[in-house]
Amino acid sequence: MVAIPSIVVVGLIWLPAISSVILSFTKWNGIGNISADDFIGPTNYRNVATNYPPFWPAMTHNLIWLTVMFLVATPFGMFLAVLLDKEIRATRVYQMALYMPVVLSLALIGFIWQLIFSKDNGLLNAVTGSGIDWFGDQRYNLWAALVATSWRQVGYIMLLYLAGLKAVDQSLREAAAIDGCSESKAFFRVIFPVMRPINIIILVVTFIESLRAFDLVWIINKGRNGLELISTLVTQNVVGEASRIGFGSALATVMLLISSVFITIYLRVVMRVDR
């Protein structure tokens, strides 16, 4: 029963990943067959770290992306879930409105925020009277992209936490109330620890989404001029005009290694819980 899914996973995930690691040690440009002369050892990795100016800004931007998702989008999504869990009037309408951005394509999200952040005809500049080029000026475009991404991410986090809150045993809330806990104390000392599986899932989802952030940035300006991310650098090198398959594979392998560290920690935590 598991043979076919295993073959699909190996064929679509593991083989491309292993191939990418192997290619990262070559100077192959995608033309012709790979020969022994194409293998150049760790040169690509050395060039990535020391001779490729966009790399470290991209690492910094990915770190900022991750920090904002953790410290802004996730707590705000959790806050909205707690509010909606109180069964306030029209809660279904609020849920649908907040979750709607999640089901929209990123191309449409980019278009919506273009209407807001546009320099000449954007809503934000019309309201504030400023002339800032939010997507074009590298002092602002990363933060503008983060606002658009957070707008989408908040609904997703809200839905996950809302599902977790619905599954919490009501007797825990009642026991906390009898012990004199305020709502905030009951949430952080009783409810939040009980939702540990949800917390771990959200932790992993947030990390992976931050690392693979690509679509919106690519739509805005193809990951240039202050919007460099590791994922856009991979695309620029692999499918761009340069067609440096080996160099792009080295960047992809760096992403894979960073992801692997976190996924290994996650699996160790999950397996420890299962025991």
Q: Which of 237, 73, 257, 92 is nearest to 153 (CA)?
A: 73
> Checking phi first, is residue 133 left (phi over 0); if not, alpha (psi -120 to 50) or beta?
beta
In this prediction, residue 275 has a pLDDT band, given cuts at 50, 70 and 90, of low
pLDDT greater than 70 at residue 273: no
Model pLDDT for residues 54-102, shown as the tens digit of each residue: 999 999 999 999 999 999 999 999 999 999 888 778 888 888 888 888 8
Report the chain's mean pLDDT, rounded to a whole number. 86
Question: Using only C-alpha atoms, what is the Rg of the chain?
Answer: 22
Model pLDDT for residues 79-88, shown as the tens digit of each residue: 999 998 887 7
Q: Which of 58, 92, 3 is nearest to 223 (CA)?
A: 58
pLDDT greater than 90 at residue 1: no
> Checking phi first, is residue 222 left (phi over 0); if not, alpha (psi -120 to 50) or beta?
left
Tell me the average pLDDT across 243-248.
Answer: 87
Give dist(CA 200, CA 193) in Å, integer: 11
Q: What is the pTM assigned to this prediction? A: 0.86
